Amino acid sequence: MRKRVFSGIQPTGSLMIGNYLGAMQNYVKLQDDYDCVYCIVDLHAITIQQDPKELKARSREVTGLLLAAGIDPKRSILFIQSHISAHSELAWILNCFIPMGWMQRMTQFKEKSAKHREQVSVGLFDYPALMAADILLYNTDVVPVGEDQKQHVELARDAAQRFNSIYGETFVLPEPLIPDVGARIMGLDDPTKKMSKSETASGHAIDLLDPPDAIRAKIMRATTDSQREIRFDSSRPGIFNLLTIYHLFSRRSQKDIEAQFEGKGYSDFKEALAEVVIEGLRPLQERYRELTADPTHIDSILADSAARARPTAEKVLAEARRKVGLG
Ligand code: TYM
C-alpha cells in the first residue's frame, strides 16, 4: 500500500510563487510515489471575513491552478473542504482534546491576530484544530507544506498522539515534509517578510496568473541592497531571495548561477530572472486558460473527488465518535 499524502491551500487572495515553489511543486511530484489528497480549505478562509461571491470563485480558481500545475485528478483527490462535513465535526472533537496552551504558542495566530486586530475570531484562534482534523481524517503519513505551516502539522501530530494515548490507536501520526530550498519565499518589496497571498501591496508577490509585463515590472522593482556581487549569501536577504527564485525556476545549480552572473549587475540579473519566471509560468497559465474555458469542468472534478474522499473521512470520524462515546 502506498503511503498517504494530504495537504491544503486557502482560497484567499491570488496564489503566488511562494505557494508554487514552497508547496504546489511538491504536491505534483509526490503523486508518483504516494496516494495524494489535496484540499481547498474554504472553512479556514472564513476565519477572516471574506466576500461570499469572491470566496466561491477563488475556490474554483485555486482548483484550476492546482490542475494546471499538474495535479492529476485521476490519480489524486482534489476537493473543497466544506463539501465534506466530517472536517468540521472532527475539529470539534479535537477541540476538546487540545490544551489552550498549545494553541497559544502558535506563531501564525500571533502574527495574524496582530494584523487583523479589529476582527480576531475564535475561529482564527482555533484554526490549527481544523487543520489537524483535515490531516487526521485521511490517515495521513506525510504533509507537504512550506516552513510557515510546520508548527501546525506538529500540533496535529501531538493532538493525534494525545487522543491515541487516551483511547488507543485511532489516528495515524503525520509528519511535515518541507522542501530544502523554497520553503520560505520572501516578499519582493520587503525580503525580511514572508511572501503572502493576503498581502495586497502591488510589488509584494508574483501571482501565478500575472501577465509577463507585471512580472517584469515587479522583479525590476524588487528590493536588493547596495552591494554588487550576485552570490547566494543568506545574510543579504533581497538578492538571496531572488537567486533562490531563479534557482528553483531554472533548475540550475547555485554554483552555475553564480558563475553566470559573475561581474554582472543587478539589473542584468533581474532581467534574466524575469524571463525564467515568465517562461516557467507560461505552460501553467496556458493550461489554466484551457481548463477554465468550460466552467462546468472544474465543478465536475470537485464533485467526483469529494465522493472519493468522503468514505475515508467518514470512517475515521465514525471511529473517533465511537471511541469518545458519542451517539
Ligand atoms: P496557505 O494557503 O497559506 O499556503 C499554502 C501552502 O503554501 C505554502 N506557502 C509558502 N511556501 C513558501 N514560501 C512562502 N512565502 C509561502 N507562503 C505559503 C504554505 O506553507 C502552504 O504549504 N493552513 C494552511 C492550509 C491548510 C493545510 C491543511 C495545509 C489547511 N489544512 C492541512 C496542510 C495540511 C495554509 O493556510 O496554507
The reply to whether 53 belongs to the active site is: no
Residue 199 lies in a domain: no
Whether residue 37 contacts residue 4, with contact meaning beta carbons closer than 8 Å, is answered with yes
Residue 302 lies in a domain: yes
Residue 195 lies in a domain: no
Residue appearing with cell numbers 487572495: 13
Give tens-digit pLDDT for 175-229: 999 999 999 999 999 999 999 998 989 899 999 999 999 999 999 999 999 999 9
224 Cα: distance to centroid of ligand 1 (angstroms): 26
Sign for the pseudo-dihedral over CA of 56, 153, 204, 115 = positive
Letter for the amino acid at 132? A
- CATH code of the domain containing 118: 3.40.50.620
Query: Exposed, middle or buried by CB within 10 Å (0-12, 13-18, 19+), for 173?
Result: middle
- CATH code of the domain containing 272: 1.10.240.10
For ligand 1, atom 4: residue with the closest CA:
9
Residue 263's pLDDT band, with cuts at 50, 70 and 90, is: very high
In this structure, the answer to whether residues 45 and 158 fall within a common structural domain is: yes
Residue 189 lies in a domain: no
258 Cα: distance to centroid of ligand 1 (angstroms): 30
Residue 163 lies in a domain: yes
In this structure, the answer to whether residues 121 and 267 fall within a common structural domain is: no
The reply to whether 112 belongs to the active site is: yes
Residue 204 lies in a domain: no
* Domain around 8: 4-178+295-324
The reply to whether 194 belongs to the active site is: yes
Whether residue 126 contacts residue 152, with contact meaning beta carbons closer than 8 Å, is answered with no
Give tens-digit pLDDT for 287-296: 999 999 998 9
Q: How many CA atoms lie within 13 A of 288 on its CB side?
A: 17
Overall pTM surpassing 0.95 (yes/no): yes
Ligand 1 binding residues, C-beta < 6 A: 6-10, 18-19, 22-23, 41, 44, 131, 134-135, 143, 145-146, 148-149, 152, 183-185, 194-195
The count of structural domains within the chain is: 2
Give tens-digit pLDDT for 83-118: 999 999 999 999 999 999 999 999 999 998 888 887
Give tens-digit pLDDT for 149-163: 999 999 999 999 999
Ligand 1 atom closest to 152 (CA) = 23
Q: What is the mean pLDDT of the chain?
A: 97
Task: Give the integer Cα–Cα distance in Å for 225 and 234.
Answer: 13
